[in-house]
């Protein structure tokens, strides 16, 4: 079974860019959880949050994660909040290696400030919001198998670092002993 490569991390950490780059280099299909949600709902992420609320979005996200986690050979570009539900992590880890793309809040602010497709960052003081959410989520992201520091690294370097770690990972996850 070919394990999935799963990218997690805060909004703007570079998950989409790196997952596409990985997919090209490894000739694997790439799937974005956000993209799947948008296709399923036939509305944008902003519309889903606005019309149905975050909780509804998280339920759809959970359904999408459960389905994707059962597949193999994928590069999964995970939405920044998928780590908030512990079951999502369990599902994804069962058949995948999780890579946390780390960037500092300041760097995330720099990368996201001109974009408008993320409802959680459409606030008066986005840097403050990023710092708040980042603080709350750090321990969730830390559950990844590997943390990749993306600050001041080229996308190619990040991609190659992930490939090296993935190739060195054991082919199956060993069951934990009781």
User: Hunting for tokens 């059962």 — which residue is that?
Assistant: 70
Q: How far is CA 69 from CA 4, 98, 119, 176, in A?
A: 8, 12, 25, 20
Task: Give the distance between the most distant pair of CA atoms in the chain.
Answer: 49
E strands of 40-177, at which residues?
75-77, 96-102, 146-149
Residue with smaller CB distance to ligand S3P, 19 or 95: 19
6 contacts 78 by C-beta, under 8 angstroms? yes
**Closer CB to ligand S3P, 137 or 153, in the complex:** 137
Of the two residues 106 and 136, which places its CB atom closer to ligand S3P in the complex? 136
Could you give the CA distance from residue 148 to residue 134 in angstroms, rounded to a whole number? 16
Query: Is 11 among the residues that bind ligand S3P (CB under 6 A)?
Result: yes
Task: Tell me the closest approach of the beta carbon of residue 119 to ligand S3P, in angstroms.
Answer: 6
Residue 111 structure tokens? 């990368």
Closer CB to ligand S3P, 134 or 166, in the complex: 134
Q: Quick one: which segment of 63-71, 87-95, 116-124, 169-177 binds ligand S3P (CB under 6 A)? A: 116-124
The answer to whether residue 119 forms part of the interface with ligand S3P (CB under 6 A) is yes
Of 106, 78, 110, 109, nearest in space to 91 by CA: 78
Is 105 a residue that touches ligand S3P (CB under 6 A)? no
Chain residues 34-73 in contact with ligand S3P, contact rule CB under 6 A: 34, 45
- Please, what is the minimum distance in Å from the beta carbon of residue 171 to ligand S3P? 29
For the record, the structure tokens of 5 come out as 């490569």
Cβ at position 143, least distance to ligand S3P in Å: 15
Binding region for ligand S3P (CB under 6 A): 11, 15, 34, 45, 79-81, 118-120
């Amino acid at each position: 079974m070919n394990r999935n490569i799963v990218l997690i991390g805060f909004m703007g950490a570079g998950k989409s860019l790196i997952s596409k780059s990985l997919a090209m280099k490894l000739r694997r299909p790439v799937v974005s959880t956000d993209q799947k949600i948008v296709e399923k709902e036939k509305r944008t992420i902003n519309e889903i949050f606005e019309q149905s609320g975050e909780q509804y979005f998280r339920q759809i996200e959970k359904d999408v994660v459960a389905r994707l986690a059962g597949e193999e050979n994928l590069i999964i570009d995970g939405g920044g909040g998928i780590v908030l539900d512990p079951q999502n992590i369990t599902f994804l880890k069962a058949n995948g290696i999780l890579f946390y793309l780390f960037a500092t809040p300041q760097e995330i602010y720099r990368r996201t400030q001109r974009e408008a497709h993320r409802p959680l960052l459409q606030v008066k003081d986005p840097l403050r919001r990023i710092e708040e959410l980042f603080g709350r989520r750090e321990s969730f992201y830390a559950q990844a198998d590997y943390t990749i520091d993306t600050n001041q690294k080229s996308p190619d370097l990040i991609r190659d670092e992930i490939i090296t770690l993935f190739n060195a990972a054991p082919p199956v996850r060993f069951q934990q002993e009781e």
